[in-house]
Amino acid sequence: MTEHGHTAPPSDPELRIKALESLLVEKGLIDPKAIDDIIETYETKIGPRNGARVVARAWADPAYKARLLQDATSAIAELGFTGAQGEDMVVVENTEEVHNVVVCTLCSCYPWPTLGLPPVWYKAAPYRARVVTDPRGVLLEFGTEVSPETEIRVWDSNAELRYLVLPRRPEGTEGWTEEQLAALVSRDSMIGTAVIAPPPAAAGDAP
């Protein structure tokens, strides 16, 4: 593995913010549940909706998909998603032959402009270590079973380069609008720890 820079551990200002937050909670000036709700919103709703729009556009527009896979940073910027932690992006596409999953082995480098705040498990040492050595087993723990015939590729993000997975478009979504498609896309599917199931109607049509 080549050496590369990674996001530094929490800085002194970050530690001071945590201490201040604890003090304010202790004095009853802020509600810890309200803070948790805000973090949850940015982890699973507001932030990942940006990435979902990128995925939906790629599914609906072959020309955009080609640009996204060739120069992800510029293609993502076309939709207005730029900024710190997203300056240099690479998009990797899931296919029948290949399933991609993203990690940051030394810390928690993560594409904030497209995915929002990283989930707690993404930053945890067990995920960072085990997804490299046993990706199939880790995916099973997320409820994602990948066919033995499908190659699993693990991509290690770093301070200079961040990865985003382009999930496979589920069957039964032909003719859908980009808004409908984006509603199917989850944060975890863009990290690679989940796949997108066909919509209920399409699943019901399966033999």
Q: Catalytic residue positions?
A: 104, 107-109
Q: Helix or strand or coil: residue 121?
A: helix
Two tokens at 157?
């993000």
Got the DSSP string for 38-63? HHHHIIIIIHHHHHHHHHHHHHH-HH
Q: Tokens 């995920």, residue?
A: 127
> Helix 62-70 vs helix 47-60: angle between axes, to the nearest 10 degrees?
120
| Token code pair at residue 89 | 């992006």
DSSP alpha helix (H) spans, the chain = 12-26, 32-41, 47-60, 62-70, 72-78, 112-115, 120-123, 125-133, 135-141, 178-184, 187-191, 200-205
User: Is the separation of the CB atoms in 98 and 150 below 8 Å?
Assistant: yes
- Does residue 149 contact residue 96 with C-beta atoms inside 8 Å? no
Are the CB atoms for 192 and 142 separated by under 8 Å?
Answer: no
